[in-house]
């Protein structure tokens, strides 16, 4: 089937390509034109997906391996869907089905994958820096799907696309990122992206969950939801990542909800048209009240999931165009 004239296929052919890196390992260090172009390309994939059309010739004959050392539902499935919609052969490798459980090291696993001539390697790992290490070993283009507490670049891109489509812009907005900043790679990637694109970024949470260094990233720190949410255009809630916590970082889930859980009362501090975001999976009644999470007007949580597929299609497209440029 022919892609539509104004579809993703044409977008990069009409202008210079700004994103010229082989991998996508982090948002930190990306320039506004690179981010802007990825978002424009993703936006055109939203339209393509909604039209029901596909572009299966783009990655035909290419192999994408989803290598997940940590659990994931939406990130893994959306990379799978994105790869399939572009025609790639997609293979999912989870920890339980791989020989990592038998003691194989990350480097050995990488060498095995390399021998399979994989073109695109999507990696999630509980150690920060694991995708960077793999990128030095494998021939494939590596995409970081979340590494430890470091970065989760495609999540920040899908969040930015959701914001841009809802608010019509990114620059100049006040974005409050709330909750477990300390353990969140989503927060780190979003801070880099949103400050680079001209937002005023606030982080809001208890002192035990906000590392001191975060202030060096150009954000304002708040420990009180009323002050942190005042006048915000976007309220981004984060999951309490208890699996990464040492004991004693929060008193109890009930008390946490009382001070930092987003309910309608706390949301009222933000702008009347502020949107509510959450990367999922949500702890309902801990960091977010169901009435807010399911609010059809304010919550854009389902839209974030839809944007996730489009953003991953754009990233796969962009990186594979890069690879084609290197072909003889
Ligand atoms: C996030 C992650 O895995 O970092 N989830 C996601 O990708 N949808 C956030 C989280 O686990 O809380």
Name the band, by pLDDT with cuts 50, 70 and 90, for residue 328. very low
Is the shortest distance between the CB of 76 and ligand 1 below 6 Å? no
Question: Ligand 1 center to residue 186 CA distance, Å?
Answer: 7
**167-221: per-residue pLDDT in tens?**
999 999 999 999 999 999 999 999 999 999 999 999 999 999 999 999 999 999 9
Question: Ligand 1 center to residue 73 CA distance, Å?
Answer: 9
- Amino acid 12: pLDDT: 76
- CA of 200: how far to CAs of 25, 217, 273, in Å? 24, 11, 17
**224-237: per-residue pLDDT in tens?**
999 999 999 999 99
- Determine the Cα–Cα distance for residues 111 and 117; give it in Å rounded to an integer: 10
- Specify the range with the lowest mean pLDDT, choosing from 107-111, 194-198, 271-275: 107-111
Is the shortest distance between the CB of 194 and ligand 1 below 6 Å? no
Ligand 1 atom nearest the C-alpha of 238 is 12
Name the band, by pLDDT with cuts 50, 70 and 90, for residue 101. low
Phi, psi dihedral angles at 16 (to 5 degrees) = -65, 145
Is the shortest distance between the CB of 186 and ligand 1 below 6 Å? yes
Phi, psi dihedral angles at 106 (to 5 degrees) = -55, -40
Decide: helix, strand or coil at residue 4. coil
Is the shortest distance between the CB of 155 and ligand 1 below 6 Å? yes
- Amino acid 326: pLDDT: 40
Q: Model's pTM, two decimal places?
A: 0.95
- Amino acid 6: pLDDT: 60
- Tell me which of 145, 155, 190 to substitute to probe ligand 1's pocket, judged by most ligand atoms within 8 Å of the beta carbon: 155
Decide: helix, strand or coil at residue 146. strand
CA dihedral 134, 241, 199, 48 (to 10 degrees): 60
**17-51: per-residue pLDDT in tens?**
899 899 999 999 999 999 999 999 999 999 999 99
């Amino acid at each position: 089937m022919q892609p539509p004239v104004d579809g993703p296929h044409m977008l990069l052919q009409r202008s210079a390509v700004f994103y010229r890196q082989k991998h996508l390992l982090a948002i930190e260090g990306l320039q506004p034109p690179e981010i802007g172009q990825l978002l424009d390309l993703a936006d055109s994939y939203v339209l393509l997906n909604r039209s029901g059309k596909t572009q299966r010739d783009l990655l035909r004959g290419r192999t994408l391996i989803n290598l997940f050392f940590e659990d994931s539902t939406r990130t893994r499935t959306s990379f799978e869907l994105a790869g399939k919609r572009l025609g790639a052969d997609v293979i999912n490798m989870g920890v339980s089905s791989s020989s990592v459980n038998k003691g194989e090291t990350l480097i050995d696993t990488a060498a095995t994958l390399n021998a399979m001539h994989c073109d695109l390697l999507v990696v999630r790992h509980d150690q920060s820096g694991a995708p960077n290490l793999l990128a030095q070993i494998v021939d494939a283009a590596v995409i970081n799907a979340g590494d430890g507490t470091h970065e989760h670049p495609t999540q920040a891109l899908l969040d930015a696309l959701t914001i841009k489509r809802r608010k019509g812009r990114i620059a100049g907005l006040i974005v409050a990122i709330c909750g477990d900043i300390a353990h969140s790679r989503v927060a780190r990637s979003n801070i880099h992206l949103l400050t680079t694109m001209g937002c005023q970024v606030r982080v809001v949470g208890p002192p035990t969950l906000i590392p001191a260094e975060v202030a060096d990233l150009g954000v304002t720190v708040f420990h009180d939801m009323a002050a942190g949410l005042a006048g915000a255009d976007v309220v981004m809630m984060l999951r309490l990542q208890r699996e990464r916590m040492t004991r004693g970082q929060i008193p109890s889930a009930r008390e946490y909800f009382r001070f930092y859980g987003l309910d309608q009362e706390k949301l009222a501090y933000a702008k009347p048209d502020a949107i509510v975001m959450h990367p999922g999976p949500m702890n309902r009644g801990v960091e977010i009240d169901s009435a807010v999470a399911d609010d059809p007007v304010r919550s854009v949580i389902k839209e974030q999931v839809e944007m996730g597929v489009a953003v991953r299609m754009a990233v796969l497209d962009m990186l594979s165009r890069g690879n084609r440029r290197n072909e003889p």
